[in-house]
Amino acid sequence: MRLSGLRLRVSDPERLSVFYSDVLGMTAQAQGVCQRVGYGGPDADVVMMPGGGKYSHDQGQRYWKIGITLPDVDLAATFLRHKGVEVSDPKQFLDIGYMCHLKDPEGFVIELLQWDFEGNRPENAATSSHPFAKACLGQITLRTGDIAAEDAFCRAQGMRLLSMQDVAQYGFDLHFYAFTDETPPNADLWAVENREWLWKRPYTTLEFQHASGGTFAPSPDYRGLEISGLSSPVRDAFGDQVWPG
């Protein structure tokens, strides 16, 4: 089993796929009327489906973002700015990770998350000409008010909980699930020690931003996940479709 795809509805799949390939270093492949873009490893692809075009980022909706993990966020941010892309200043966010954010041309949020915390990055981790050469679609992030229900669904599919991260000052915590047999270095899944390890995984984790008791609206342009090895479509804990990959 593998988390293999994220389906998003966009206004022009072919045009948007050019941004993901030319700017973010992914490879694009036509899939009928859709475009499938990704890094070609065991991580998930983004499947761009026609029919969207009115997306507006809303913190009250189920879908949040994708996270791209890579060795040098500073080089990536500089590269993006040279391409004319607006990107936030990279910074260490609490004890979570060193990151920055941008939006694609249709407004979908993308997080760039460095493998190592600020100050821990080895020298020459990446090259300025190809900062996305070792990148991975590291996270697909959804919001939830009921992590127990999400946990039950994920475990029923065969996913493992790899990390929990407390962001209490912002009113939520984070939970990361993946199809893997790997074990985090610290058995305490709240441990900070596990985080840099997590950002270096070559596969995609399903991340939940959990605000206890929170209520979130469906995201019209989020059309569900794909799981390779799934025998038939299922509904997740929120009611969104999960498709065989």
Confidence at residue 53, expressed as pLDDT on a 0 to 100 scale: 85
For the chain, list residues with pLDDT below 70.
none
| Class of the domain covering 2-244 | alpha beta
Digit-coded pLDDT (tens) for 20-73: 999 999 999 999 999 999 999 999 999 999 999 878 899 999 999 999 999 999
Confidence at residue 54, expressed as pLDDT on a 0 to 100 scale: 78
User: Across the chain, what does the average pLDDT equal?
Assistant: 97
Confidence at residue 2, expressed as pLDDT on a 0 to 100 scale: 97
Confidence at residue 23, expressed as pLDDT on a 0 to 100 scale: 98
DSSP string, the chain: -EEEEEEEEES-HHHHHHHHHHTT--EEEEETTEEEEE-SSSSPEEEEEES-------TTBSEEEEEEEES-HHHHHHHHHHTT--BPPPEEETTTEEEEEEE-TT--EEEEEESS-TTTPPTT-S-TT-TTTT-EEEEEEEEES-HHHHHHHHHHHT-EEEEEEEEGGGTEEEEEEES-----SSSSTT-THHHHHHHT-SS-EEEEEE-TT---B--TTEEEEEEET-SS-EE-TTS-EEEE-
